[in-house]
Amino acid sequence: GAGVSQSPSNKVTEKGKDVELRCDPISGHTALYWYRQSLGQGLEFLIYFQGNSAPDKSGLPSDRFSAERTGGSVSTLTIQRTQQEDSAVYLCASSFLTGAAFFGQGTRLTVV
């Protein structure tokens, strides 16, 4: 597709379960970002991938959060042992080496 694609669009999980969120960036984009946005709040940076460089993981809130990017394309954000405070919209964005980031539609995660 032409845009950033995220799946699932909605996810409801039980507290303590693991979840995986997927992001398929725009073809050719070398940079990929994950953000989290709670209701009424700004974007919370989680992790940044750029080409083959080591990812910038400085925004990951705890060791329950991890992300990988396979083959410089698709990325998966994994949250282990989910907690209620993990409930938020998780946004993925991609860009070229320079230039603007383009966002996917997000995954709304609800931990019950």
Partner 1 sequence: QKEVEQNSGPLSVPEGAIASLNCTYSDRGSQSFFWYRQYSGKSPELIMFIYSNGDKEDGRFTAQLNKASQYVSLLIRDSQPSDSATYLCAGRPNAGKSTFGDGTTLTVKP
Q: Which residues bind partner 1 (CB under 8 A)?
A: 31, 33, 35, 41-43, 45, 48, 50, 56, 91, 95, 97-106
Q: What is the 3-state secondary structure (H, E, C) of 55-109?
A: CECCCCCCCCEEEEEHHHCCEEEEECCCCHHHCEEEEEEEECCCCCCEECCCEEE
Nearest to partner 1 of 25, 104 (CB atom): 104
In the complex, minimum distance from the CB of residue 106 to partner 1, in angstroms, rounded to a whole number: 5
In the complex, minimum distance from the CB of residue 91 to partner 1, in angstroms, rounded to a whole number: 6
Q: Are residues 8 and 106 in contact, defined by beta-carbon separation less than 8 angstroms?
A: no
In the complex, minimum distance from the CB of residue 64 to partner 1, in angstroms, rounded to a whole number: 23
* Cα end-to-end span (Å), the chain: 33
Nearest to partner 1 of 44, 73 (CB atom): 44
In the complex, minimum distance from the CB of residue 81 to partner 1, in angstroms, rounded to a whole number: 27
Nearest to partner 1 of 13, 30 (CB atom): 30
Peptide bond into 8 cis (omega under 30): yes
